[in-house]
Amino acid sequence: MKKLLNITLALLAAFFILSCRNSDDDVPEDVHEHDEIGKVVLTLTNKANASDVQTISVISGVADGHLHLHAGDTYFAVLDFQIKHDDHYHSSDEIEEEKDHHFITFNPANADIVVVRAANDIVRTDGQKLGLRTEWTINSTQETGKMNIKLVHGPATVNQNYPSAANQLGQTTGGETDVDITVDAH
Amino acid sequence: MKHIINLMLVFFGLTLVTAQSYSVEGTVQDFHDKTMLENAVVTLGNSTTKTDKKGRFSFSNISAGSHQLVAKHPLCDDYTENVKVDRDLHLAIILEHHSNEIQGVTLHGSHKTKSSVIMSTLDKTEIDRNSTENLGNLLSRITGVSALKTGNNITKPVIRGLYGSRISILNNGVKMAEQEWGVEHAPNIDVTDFEHIDVIKGASALKYGNEGVGGVVVLEPAILPKKDTIMGNIRLSGISNGRGGELGATIIKSWENDWFVKAGGTYRKTGDQYIPHHTLQNTGQEFNSFNFAFGKHSFLQGFDVSYSGTNQEFGIYKGAHLSSPEDFYNAVNFGQPYFLDNFSYDIDNPKQEVAHHIAKVSAYKRFSDFGKLTFQYSFQYNRRKEFDIRRGELLNVPSMDLRLITHSASLVHLIERLNWSLESGISGSFQDNFPDPATKARRLIPDYYRYDAGAFSIFKYRFSSKLNAEAAVRYDFSRYDAYKYYDSDKWNDNYASQFSEFFVSESGSRILTRPILDYHNLSANVGLNYKPTQDFEFKLNLSRAERTPNPAELFADGLHHSAAIMEEGNLSIKKETIYNVNLSLAGQFDVLKGLHIEANPYLMYSDSFINQIPTGVMNTNRGVFPVESYQQVKARMLGVDVDAELSILDNLKWKSGYSVLRGDDLTNNQPLILMMPARNRNSIEIMLHKPSQFYVTLENDNVFRQKRYPIANLPVTFIKDGVERSEIVDFSTPPAAYTSFNATLGANLFKHLNVNFRINNLFNTEYREYLNRLRYYMYEPGRNLVVTLKYNF
C-alpha cells in the first residue's frame, strides 16, 4: 500500500515539475489575419479630366473620405483589396489568381450611377468579368448618395449583366461575403 | 474458491487427549464492509447449519480428523476448505458477497447502491437499438436531457439547460477534456463501446470533479465474466439518411484466472444528409474508432491498461457558413436553395477534422482492514482542425488547428463498513493547449497551460434499512498560465489597469500578455435517501459547486460563422458558484401489471453564472457585427422531470417522460438563452420473448415552443435596388412546436443473429429545434431508416 501511495505521489510530483513552463523560451509568435481584407482602396479617375483622381481607403468598415462625383462624367474605377501584415497593408493578388472563386457587385443608393465592367477587367473562365476594373457613368447624385461594394468568395452563381447588359452592377447567390463596404458618393 | 479471502483458525480451550469429538463454532463475515452474514449455509463433514443474525454458527460432536468445510451464501461464491479437527475450533470465515458488483477498476457510479444522487441510465438494449447515433442524440432519450447542436454532426449533451464545461463526461473513468473548446465541439465517443450510460443530474457527484456543476455523464464498459471464454459481436448497419453504413466489431477474451483482453472498432461513413424533400450540401461525415484493453481484475487486486481513439471528419452545411450581416439577412429570410440537393459523399471546406485519443492505466488493491486503494493515470490527446473557405496557398490549410494534451492522475481510497463508507481521494492534472500558428489565422483560443489539483471525501451513512444519508466535500485548485496577444486598444480599454502585471511587450498595434490566473474552488453536497416502504422512495440532494471558468469564457476572440456573433472572452471572470436543490419522489403502484412514477423537481441558483451577453458592435470590412462578451449574472433555473412506466400486459409497456424548465437571468431581468423547451415523450413497446425475442416500439416526441427567450437580434443596413434599407435579422424567436414519431422493430433471426430496424422521423416531418444553432438555415433530418444486423458469439 505504501508503495502504491509513494508511486502515486512521485508521479503527481513528477508531472507537475516536468510540466512547469521553463522561462519564456516558448513565447508563441503573433499571427496576423491572412484571410481578412483589412483595407480596401478605391481609386476613381475622371475620364474627361485625368487630373481628377480620387482615392478612398476603407479600414474596419470606415472610409477616410467620400467621393465627389460630377453628373454627366464617367470615371474609371479600380479596386485594390489589401491584407494586413505587421503594421502595413499589401495588395492581395490572390483574388485575381482565383478569379473563378470571386465576384464583385456594386449597389448605388440615392444616386443614378451606371456601372460597366471595363475592357481591361479580369475575365473569369465562365466569361463573366470580375469587377476589379469598372467604368461608372454618373447620371445624377444626391447629398445622400452612396455606393456599396461587395466582394463575394465562392458564390454559387454569378451574373454580371444584372440588372442589364448596359448596367453591370452584378448579382450573386450564396458564397461568403469577404468585403461589404459602403462609401458616400455625391 | 477464488473469492475466499481469508480463513483464520483461532485455537482455544484445552485439547483433551482422550476426547474423540470436538466443538467447532465461528462466524461468517463480509470482507469489505465487515457485515456479519446471516443465512450462510455452513457444512462441515456430514453436518450442516445456518448462520444466525450475527453471522454465528456452531457444530458440536465433530469427530477428530479431516473434514471438508463448505460455506455458501446466496450472494457469494462457495468457499471450500479442508479442516483438520483435533481440538475445539473457532473459525472466522470471510466471504466477499459483492464480488460480482465491483470487479472493475472504475466504480460503477452509484446506481447499485442506496444513494441520494438523482440518476438516469441508458442500458445496453437502448444503446444497441440506437447504436449509429452520436452521444448527444442518444442521451436526449433521457427525460431532462437534450442536445445542443451545431448542425447535425456536432451535438453536445445538455442536462437541465446546462452544457459544455458544466457537464463532465467520464469515458471509462477518464474525464474527457475537449469540452473546454466551446460550443462547436462535440464529445468524441463511440457509444457501442459501453454497457450502460448513467446521467447524474445536478452537482452531486463530486467524486468526478468539481466542473460538472450541471451533471455528469458516466460511460461504463461491460464487466467481464471470470471464465475461459471468447465472446464478442460484429455489427453491420445500413443508414438511409446520408446513404451510409457502419461496420463495427468487438472481441473479448477472458480467463478464469481473472485476466482479460479486449478490442473493438467502428467505421461509419455517410454522405449529405436529408431534410424532408432535400439534401443539404456538404453534410457528410466519416467516423472511425478503435479501442483496446487488457488487464487482470481479481477481487483483491487488479490493474488494466486501455486505449481508445476516435477520428472524425465532417462537413459544415455550406448554407450555414456566412460572413456578412447582409448574408445572414438573406439566408434567414429567403433560405439558400442553391446549397440544397446534388447528393454527394464528398466532404469539402468548410469542414472539421477531430481526433481524440485516450490512454489509461489503473490499478487497485484491497486491504482487509484498510479498505481499497485505486490509482489511475490517463493521457488524452485532442486535436481539432477547422477548414474554412480560404484563398491561395491557404486553401488547404486549416484556419484553426488546436491541440490539447491532458495528463491526469488520481488516488482514491474507499473503506466500507456495515453502516458507513468513506471514499477519499486526491487528483492532479496538467493541460497544454497549443493553437498552431501555421494556420495563419488569429487564435480563437490561446496557448495555455492549466494545472489542477483536488481532494475530496464522501461519507455515506446508513441510519436504518430505510434511511441513508451522505455528505461530500471537495477542494480544487486551478491555474491558467497563458500567452495571449491582444489588440492594443482592446487591452488598454479593458484590462491595462486591472491586469498590468500580465503585460509582457508591445509591438505595433499588438500587445503580448501572460495572464496567470488562480482559482480556489470549494464544493460540497449533502443528500438523503428515504425508503419507508418497498414501493416508495424519496431522495433529497443539496449541493454547492464551484467551477473554474473555461478558456473560451476567459480568452475567446473571434467570429462565429454560424451565429453572426463576435465572441469575446473576459479575463475578469471569477469562478462560478452554483447552488442546487434536487428532489426525487418515486412510487410503485398496483395498476394493471404495475405502474412506476418518478417526479424530480429541482432548483438551481447562481450569483456568478457565466453567460454571454451582447456588449456592443464591431465595424469590419464585412459589415457591422454584434459583440457578445462573457459576463457573470445572477441566474436561477427551476424545473421538473417526470417519468412514468406502466405495464399494461405482461408483454405490453407504456413509458412517458415529461420535462419542463424555466431559466432566468435575474441581473438583466430576462430569460436565459437556449433553455430547452418543454417536452413530452411517449412510447409503447410490445415484447414477445417467444419465439425469438420479437419487439416493436412506437415512440412519439412532442416538443413545445419555447416562449421565454432573450431578444438578441441583428440590425442590418444594406442597399438593395437603389434604396438603402434597415432591417432586423431575427436570431431570437424560437421555432414552432413539433411532434415526431419513431419506430423500432427487431428480433433474433437465428440463435446468434439479431436484426433491428429503426425509423426516425417516421412521417418525414419538417421541424426545427430551438437548441440547434443552425436552425435558421436548415430543418432537422428527415426520415431515416437504420437496419442493424448484429452477430453475437
Kindly state the average pLDDT of the residues B39-68: 89
**Cell 440615392 belongs to residue:** A110
3-state secondary structure of B183: coil
Report chain B residues whose CB lies below 8 A from the CB of A23: none
Q: Locate CATH 2.40.170.20 in chain B.
A: 219-427+445-792
- The yes-or-no verdict on residue B336 having pLDDT over 60 is yes
pLDDT confidence of residue A73: 95
Kindly state the average pLDDT of the residues A27-48: 90
B366-387 in b/e burial notation, b at 16+ Cβ within 10 A? beeeebbbbbbbbbbebbbbbb
In this structure, of B247-256, B445-454, B718-727, the range with the lowest mean pLDDT score is: B718-727
pLDDT confidence of residue A10: 63
Kindly state the average pLDDT of the residues B251-266: 94
Distances (CA, A) of B708 to B555, B663, B705, B734: 29, 8, 9, 9
Q: Locate CATH 2.60.40.10 in chain B.
A: 6-95
More reliable by pLDDT, B720 or B379: B379
Q: Give the Cα separation of B53 and B69 in Å (integer).
A: 21
Kindly state the average pLDDT of the residues B754-774: 95
Cβ–Cβ < 8 Å for A112, A97: no
pLDDT confidence of residue B98: 55
Kindly state the average pLDDT of the residues B408-437: 94
> Is B442 part of the contact surface with chain A (CB cutoff 8 Å)?
yes
- The yes-or-no verdict on residue A19 having pLDDT over 60 is no
Contact at CB, A4 and B375, closer than 8 angstroms: yes
Nearest Cα to B553, choosing from B202, B178, B165?
B165
Q: Give the Cα separation of B453 and B660 in Å (integer).
A: 36
| A-to-B residue pairs, Cβ atoms closer than 8 angstroms | 157
Cβ–Cβ < 8 Å for B640, B664: no
CATH code of the domain made up of B219-427+445-792: 2.40.170.20
Residue A28 domain flag:
no
Structural domain of A51: 33-184
pLDDT confidence of residue B407: 97
Q: How far is A130 from chain B (nearest CA, A)?
A: 16
pLDDT confidence of residue B100: 44
- The yes-or-no verdict on residue B18 having pLDDT over 50 is no
* Percent of chain B residues topping a pLDDT of 90: 63
pLDDT confidence of residue B5: 38
More reliable by pLDDT, B280 or B626: B280
Chain A's closest residue to B452, CA to CA, is: A16
For chain A, how many structural domains are there in total? Answer: 1
Nearest Cα to B726, choosing from B619, B623, B627?
B623
Contact at CB, B367 and A174, closer than 8 angstroms: no
As a whole number of Å, the end-to-end CA separation of chain A is: 86
Average pLDDT, chain A: 88
Q: How far is A137 from chain B (nearest CA, A)?
A: 15
Nearest Cα to B407, choosing from B432, B424, B384?
B432
Residue B460 cell numbers, joined: 455515506
> Is B372 part of the contact surface with chain A (CB cutoff 8 Å)?
no
Rg of chain A on CA atoms, in Å: 25
| Secondary structure letter of residue B502 according to DSSP | G
Residue A137 domain flag:
yes
Kindly state the average pLDDT of the residues B288-314: 94
Question: Which H or E element spans position B488?
Answer: helix B488-494
Nearest Cα to B108, choosing from B52, B173, B28?
B173
3-state secondary structure of B653: strand
> Is A61 part of the contact surface with chain B (CB cutoff 8 Å)?
yes
> Is A180 part of the contact surface with chain B (CB cutoff 8 Å)?
yes
Cβ–Cβ < 8 Å for B281, B321: no
> Is B47 part of the contact surface with chain A (CB cutoff 8 Å)?
no
Cβ–Cβ < 8 Å for B428, B409: yes
Q: Who contacts B475 (Cβ-Cβ below 8 Å, separation ≥6)?
A: B454, B455, B456, B520, B521, B522, B523
Kindly state the average pLDDT of the residues B710-725: 88
- The yes-or-no verdict on residue A11 having pLDDT over 70 is no
Q: How far is B323 from chain A (nearest CA, A)?
A: 6
Superfamily designation of domain B6-95: Immunoglobulins (2.60.40.10)
Rg of chain B on CA atoms, in Å: 30
- The yes-or-no verdict on residue B316 having pLDDT over 60 is yes
pLDDT confidence of residue B325: 84
Kindly state the average pLDDT of the residues B443-455: 94
Q: Give the Cα separation of B362 and A4 in Å (integer).
A: 11
The type of residue at B259 is W
pLDDT confidence of residue A85: 77
The type of residue at B574 is K
pLDDT confidence of residue B486: 94
Contact at CB, A180 and B623, closer than 8 angstroms: yes
pLDDT confidence of residue B563: 62
Q: Give the Cα separation of B476 and B576 in Å (integer).
A: 13
Q: Measured between CB atoms, which of A34, A87, A182 is closest to B508?
A: A87
Query: B291: pLDDT confidence band, cut at 50, 70 and 90?
Result: very high
Residue A80 domain flag:
yes
Distances (CA, A) of B205 to B468, B474, B586: 16, 10, 20
Report chain A residues whose CB lies below 8 A from the CB of B409: 8, 11-12, 15
pLDDT confidence of residue B109: 36
Cβ–Cβ < 8 Å for B697, B711: no
More reliable by pLDDT, B18 or A8: A8
- The yes-or-no verdict on residue B559 having pLDDT over 80 is no
Residue A27 domain flag:
no
Cβ–Cβ < 8 Å for B120, B142: yes
Contact at CB, A28 and B437, closer than 8 angstroms: yes
> Is A143 part of the contact surface with chain B (CB cutoff 8 Å)?
no
Report chain A residues whose CB lies below 8 A from the CB of B336: 156, 173-174
Distances (CA, A) of B703 to A121, A160, B742, B767: 55, 46, 14, 10
Residue A126 domain flag:
yes
Q: Who contacts B238 (Cβ-Cβ below 8 Å, separation ≥6)?
A: B244, B245, B785, B786, B787
CA B83 to chain centre: 50
Q: How far is A24 from chain B (nearest CA, A)?
A: 10
pLDDT confidence of residue A39: 94
> Is B357 part of the contact surface with chain A (CB cutoff 8 Å)?
no
pLDDT confidence of residue B417: 86
Neighbours of B1 (CB within 10 A): 8
pLDDT confidence of residue B264: 96
Residue A155 domain flag:
yes
Q: Give the Cα separation of B450 and B689 in Å (integer).
A: 53
pLDDT confidence of residue B286: 97
Q: Measured between CB atoms, which of B428, B437, B623 is closest to A16?
A: B428
Cβ–Cβ < 8 Å for B274, B783: yes
Instruction: Give B621-668 pLDDT, tens digit per residue.
Output: 888 888 888 999 999 999 999 999 999 999 999 999 999 999 999 999
Residue A169 domain flag:
yes
Nearest Cα to A175, choosing from B563, B323, B55?
B323
- The yes-or-no verdict on residue B483 having pLDDT over 90 is yes
pTM of the shown model: 0.87
Instruction: Give B133-154 pLDDT, tens digit per residue.
Output: 999 999 999 999 999 998 888 8
Contact at CB, B623 and A61, closer than 8 angstroms: yes
Q: Give the Cα separation of B80 and B69 in Å (integer).
A: 6
Cβ–Cβ < 8 Å for A45, A76: yes
Query: A12: pLDDT confidence band, cut at 50, 70 and 90?
Result: low
3-state secondary structure of B124: helix
Contact at CB, A5 and B510, closer than 8 angstroms: no
More reliable by pLDDT, B699 or A9: B699
Contact at CB, B392 and A29, closer than 8 angstroms: no
Q: Measured between CB atoms, which of A1, A28, A87 is closest to B365?
A: A1
Q: How far is A107 from chain B (nearest CA, A)?
A: 6
- The yes-or-no verdict on residue A16 having pLDDT over 60 is no
Question: Which H or E element spans position B544?
Answer: strand B536-547
pLDDT confidence of residue B376: 97
Neighbours of B309 (CB within 10 A): 18
Cβ–Cβ < 8 Å for B705, B768: no
